[in-house]
Structures are given as structure tokens and as C-alpha cells.
Chains A and B, each alone.
Chain A
Amino acid sequence: MADHTSVRAGARRPQRYLPIQILLGFLVIYFLVPFWWVIVNSSKDAPGLFGGGNTLWFTDQIDYLGNLRQLFTYDGGIYLRWILNSTLYAIAGGVGATVLAVMAGYGFAKYRFAARRFSFAVVLGALMVPATALVIPTFIMFSRLGLTNTVWAVILPSLLNPFGVYLMHVYARDAVPDELLDAARVDGAGELRTFFQIALPLMRPAVVTVLLLSAVASWNNYFLPLAMLSDNRLFPVTVGLGLWQGIASANNAGTTSLWSLIILGSLVSVLPLIIAFFSLQRHWRGGLSVGGLR
């Protein structure tokens, strides 16, 4: 990916495109405005927030530390619990879904087993089933099994990622040559060893992409945990902040401090994913093109 860019940039003289860059500048401002608002306003205390001053600039009182302390101690430190829950759901759902998708994608791509075409067609069809349509029946099934209001109610349905299977199938088919697998078999490597030592390293960019996509999907999930969980100590941060937002809007008076918690809480909750995306950039960008190119 990076290769193309550098080759092309080197082949031509770098061009400035001033008007286009100015346009991009405006767009960047648009995309950053909500972040800026949250960064500015999470520095304020309640009077600063409601004082009617400039909403896009700081007041004299910049009190991040005080607000952070409040955020992490409010209601017995429930916010930290929500963040940890989100982390658990994202890691368990993300890793689990990825392991299943990698195995299934490789299996579909590299083995000619009975009913393969039919099963793969069914998986592709499942891409078009909206995830939220499954939530209500899954909830009723889980409530029969006594699984609602447990972490499993959120983790287990997150293991399903048909798009990951599709991505891995395309990638394994193109990036893992059959000849290489046959050579390994002739050399006496078992099927599992061939998979782990030959195929898996070749599929790494797609594995990272699927892992990131499914972890993000779990971290961002709202409808499923909202339906499944009633104990707020199990909430992920999305449902938790939604709860606070509802409480704060319902009784405007007396909950002014809750608003500043929501603002700072939104800021803190988005940092982990932003950091993950930026630090893993090199890995996932290569994998993203897979789904689109075929």
C-alpha cells in the first residue's frame, strides 16, 4: 500500500493543489468540531458549562483533573466498570469472532468438502440479515436459558461475523497458494501444522483487519447490550452513557454535574479505539482493500 504511494509520488513532481487543500482543510474542521467541543467543554465545571459563555472556547477555569476525579468516583466508580466491561466485550467478542472467521474462511477456501458451496452460499446470504433483527428472538431464547443479564448474553452473539468469514475466504483463496500447502503435506506436515505454520502467517493482514473490525463492532454495540442487560454494573460504556443521557435529560434541574460527566465520559470512552486505530494503521489498511477489490 505504502509502496504505491511512494512510487507514484516519486515518479511525478509533488503537486500542491492549493484550492483542494483548502477544501480539505474545511472538511477536516467539520470532522473535528465535535471532538473540539467535547475537549473544550470537558474542562469546564457546571457553572462554566451553563454560564452562557463561548461554547467553543475554554473558560478561565480549566479543571480536567477535578472532572476526571468526579467521573471515576461517581456512583462508586461505575464509569470505570463500564469501560472495563466494554473492553472485556470487545476483546472476547473480537478475538472469538476472529478465530472462528479465520478457521471458517480458510476451510471454505482450501478444502473441497461436502455441501461446501451450499454452506458458503448460506453464509453470504446471512450478510444481508440485519443484526438487530436477531436481537429480540435471541433475547427470548436467552431468557429461557437464564442467560440474559450475564456477560455471555453480550459475548456469545458477538461471535457471529459472516463478513469476517467472507473476507478471510477471499484472502485465503488469493494469498495462500495451494502448491505451498501441498508441498507442506508432501513433506509430512499435518493439516493443523500446515494451517498454523504456512497459511496463518500469509493471512496476517486480513486477520488483523477482521480482528479490528469485530472488536470495533463489539465496542460500539448498543442495541444488543441494551436489550440483554438490566444490571447497570454489566453495561458497556455505550449503554452506560446512554443511561446517563436519559437521566440528565429527564430531570434537567439538579443534574447539572451529570452533564459534565457525560461530556468527559464521551471523551474518555473514545480514546482507546482512536489509539488502537492509529497505532495499528499499517496493519489494517492492507486488509481493508480485500473486501472491496474482488
Chain B
Amino acid sequence: MADQPLKKVPGSTGYTSMLGGSAVTSALTAEVELRGAAAAEDLVVAEVAEPSEVGFWRLAVIRFLHHRAATVSLVILLFIVGSAIVLPVFQGELYRIQNYRNPYTQPFVFHARVIALPVGLSVTVPWSDHLLGTDDLGRDELARLVRGARVSLTVGLLAMLGYIIIGGILGALAGYYGGWIDNALMRLTDVIIAMPFILVVVAVTAAFGGVSLTVLVLVIAFLGWFEIGRLMRAQFLVLRESEFVQAARALGASDYRIIFRHIIPNSLAPIIVSATLGVSGIILLEAALGFLGYSIPPPEPSWGNLLGQYEEALQLGKTYLVAFPAIALVTTALCINLVGDGIRDALDPRQR
């Protein structure tokens, strides 16, 4: 991909990030500086001032980092993913350990705790047994939240992988070869898109006789790939007729070579953007299913089924039991969306 033409670099008009216009000028100057610096290096080495190529992906990273909201979101997201991976290792079975003596412990309640240090000293620190409180069965809410993050993120990423595989292949075939497969795909997607998606997923998962992570991922992947498929098809329709593909064909390149060496590398940008945004869509979908009681069954927590117990929690005035999963869910979705926006700006600046 390093041989992406530099014309992808925007001119002075049209390239701007959606959030924060000031990023534009700084990103541009950074690019110019970078190219200048690279050119200077070339001067020393080769003593020829050829216009040097800074790789497409490197430029993309620079542009992304200049999108402030996206960068901050990426950091938050990495923190969330990191805690979802690391914390459960330490917490072990904490998420399912019940304690009937202290249900509904309030969150953020600290007490002094003396910690003995090895040299015979001891320090007193503020300590909370259950930082985010406990639920109706006295289970630690933080542990449940973190464990739920695992479910949400796993489903989001794996189902998106499924979208890309199914949608990518079928969309590419439809766009490249056209004909009946194209027609069938388009008419079918028209209808599936209008279906109440949640209901269809509920019905299909029920047909598998019970929900597990695998079933959930497979069902979502098989029912939701249409958007990626349509996007892939549109890309193929346009690129199939483009001049560089015609040139390749004129040189006698095979279909295989044209698709994999010429069209796919050039169609990646919008797919990556759509895939990123799609992950947040899937996470929200999984939460909606959990909310309705059709995601991973309890005692395994997911953000959706934590939220699904809202009636009881609200009747007892335990708002925090609803607030924490809601905050986790919305923050994750928002960060993914902003990162997606940043990637869009970075990969294809001509799109706003």
C-alpha cells in the first residue's frame, strides 16, 4: 500500500476535519514539513532533490492524530479495551459471587483502610470494597461492568469481521460481475433493511435454541452484512470502469489479479470507515438484545442485560445500577464513532 499515489493528499480546499477546523492548517503544514524533511534527507544521501514519497498510511496516521476528538476517543477506547482484557484476570469469579447480606451497596463509598508495607510501616488509604456498588444479589457492579465490556467488544469485533467477510465477497461479486447475483442481492437487501432487525435476530437466535456468544456473533453477521455488501458493490461498480482497471485489463491481467491487486486496495478506505462505525452499531444492537433479554443469558453480564433490569432498579431508586452500564455503553459507542470520523478524515480527506 506504500505505493498509493500522492494525489490522495488534499489540495488546500475541501480537506477539513468535521470537528475543529484549526486541525486543517496544522495537518497540512505537518505534511509539508514531513515531505520537506524527507526531501532534505534525500538531498544528503543522493544529492538529488527528487520529490520524496511519504507513505499513504503514514500521512493517514498524521492526519488522524491531528483530529483531536478522534485521538482522545482512541485513548479512551484503548483504556476501555485494556480494562476489559486485564481487569477480569484479577477479578476472576468476582462478577458472579453473590452476597445476600449487602445487596444494593451505594457506589463511591470509601472507608479508611490500613495497608501494611513490608518494612514494618503502614499507610492508611481510602478504600472501597465495591467501587461502583453492588447489585440486587450483592454482586460487585464494577466486576460485572468490566465483564460485560468483554461480551460487548467481542461481539462487536467478531460480528464486524463476519460482515466484512460475507459482505465483502458478495458485494465484490455483485459489483464486478453484475447480472442476476447483483439483482438478487439488491432486492433482498431492500427488504431485509426494512425488517425490524432486532425482531429478526430474536427469532433466528431462538431457532438455534438458546443464545451463546458464537450463535449471537453468527446470527448478527449473517443478518447484518448488507451495508458493507452494498458499499463494496458500489466501490466495485465505480472502480471496474476506471481507467487504471481498463489499463490492467488491456495488459491482459486476469480477473483475480484485477480484483485483488487493483480494485480491493483502492476500495479499502470507505470500507474501513464503515466497518469502524459498524462496530458501534453492533455493540448497541447487542445491548438492545440484552435489554430485551435475548443476548447472553445471565449470570453472564452484558451491558444490555445489566440495563434490562432497569424496572426493578428504578423502582427501588437505585439509579446508579442503570447509570453505570448506560455511561459505559454510550461512551464506548461515542468513542468508536469519533474514531471512525477521524479515520474517514485521515483516509479520504475529500469526503467530509
A binds B: no
Q: Which residues of B contact A (CB under 8 A)?
A: none
